């Protein structure tokens, strides 16, 4: 591999974990298009109810957020990001649509800036690869989740992700057994584990299968 190619892959990996600058906007749009199936699956498994308080870790450009309100229009939503660009982009695009119900916040990727028992539903899609300490992150999520609350953790399997050349930089990859082992080291209970397969388009324009799983966890 040439140094130029390696630098490009490193840049893609960095942008996927923390979009920034003009390239970050382009990457965010691409992520929305390729991840919308996984996001929709996670939202379905949340089983939203009237007046739920919802937290999402890693909302990206936020174009999927109307899907939540299409299910339950009385919910409140908080989006959390490490990327200032995504925080600003989502705020500008979405906040005016739901001015009383949507809030966006920045965080350091480790500590959730809320008191215990704040949210009834929490979800995150394709962020676990970037968690510095997965057990501590799950414990933080557990802390801010209300009793009988529900958390959906959705991720693509290691077997698929390692076929993407940029994932050797800045990514930690997991198969479902790896995630299950991490969960068992926390107070969360596994309500259900749902594996799914979808077809996504690769750079050559071909449709390829992507295996992913959602763990639905309860408190």
pTM above 0.85, yes or no: yes
Specify the pLDDT at position 1: 57
pLDDT of residue 89: 86
Task: Look at the chain and report how many structural domains it folds into.
Answer: 1
**4 lies in a domain?**
no
pLDDT at 201: 80
Checking if the pLDDT of 99 tops 80, the result is yes
Residue 201: domain span: 118-219
Average pLDDT over residues 187-191: 98
Greater pLDDT, 201 or 150: 150
Residue (of 28, 34, 139) closest to 94 by Cα position: 28
Is the per-residue pLDDT at 17 higher than 80? no
Using CA atoms, how far residue 176 sits from 137, 144, 148, 183, in Å, is 17, 24, 23, 10
Q: Tell me, what's the pLDDT at 196?
A: 98
**Any domain includes 61:** no
Does some domain include residue 16? Answer: no
pLDDT greater than 90 at residue 149: yes
Q: What is the pLDDT of residue 30?
A: 75
Neighbours of 128 (CB within 10 A): 24
In a domain, 59, yes or no: no
SS3 label, residue 85 = helix
Which tokens hold the place of 182? 């991490």
Q: Is the pLDDT of residue 203 over 70?
A: no
Torsion angle in degrees (nearest 10) through CA of 201, 45, 102, 97: 60
Q: Give the model confidence (pLDDT) of 21-56 as tens digits.
A: 666 666 767 777 889 999 999 999 999 999 999 999
**Residue 190: inside a domain:** yes
**Higher pLDDT among residues 59 and 25, named by residue:** 59
Query: Does 126 reside within a domain?
Result: yes
Instruction: Report which secondary-structure segment, H or E, holds 190.
Output: strand 189-201
Q: Quick check: helix, strand or coil at residue 113? A: coil
In a domain, 149, yes or no: yes
CATH code: domain of residue 132: 3.40.50.150
């Amino acid at each position: 591999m040439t140094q130029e190619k390696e630098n490009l892959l490193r840049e893609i990996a960095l942008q996927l974990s923390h979009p920034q600058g003009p390239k970050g906007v382009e990457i965010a749009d691409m992520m929305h298009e390729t991840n919308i199936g996984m996001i929709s699956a996670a939202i379905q498994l949340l089983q939203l109810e009237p007046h739920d308080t919802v937290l999402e870790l890693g909302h990206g450009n936020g174009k999927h957020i109307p899907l939540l309100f299409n299910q339950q229009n009385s919910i409140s939503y908080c989006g959390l990001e490490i990327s200032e660009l995504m925080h600003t982009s989502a705020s500008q695009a979405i906040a005016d649509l739901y001015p009383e119900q949507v809030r966006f916040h920045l965080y350091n990727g480790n500590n959730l800036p809320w008191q215990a028992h704040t949210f009834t539903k929490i979800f995150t899609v394709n962020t676990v690869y970037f968690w510095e300490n997965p057990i501590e992150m799950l414990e933080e999520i557990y802390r801010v989740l209300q009793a009988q609350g529900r958390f959906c953790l959705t991720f693509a399997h290691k077997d698929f992700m390692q076929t993407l050349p940029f994932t050797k930089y800045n990514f930690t990859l997991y198969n479902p057994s790896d995630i299950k082992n991490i969960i068992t080291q926390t107070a969360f209970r596994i309500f259900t584990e749902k594996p799914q397969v979808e077809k996504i388009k690769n750079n050559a324009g071909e449709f390829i299968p992507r295996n992913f799983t959602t763990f639905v966890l309860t408190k």
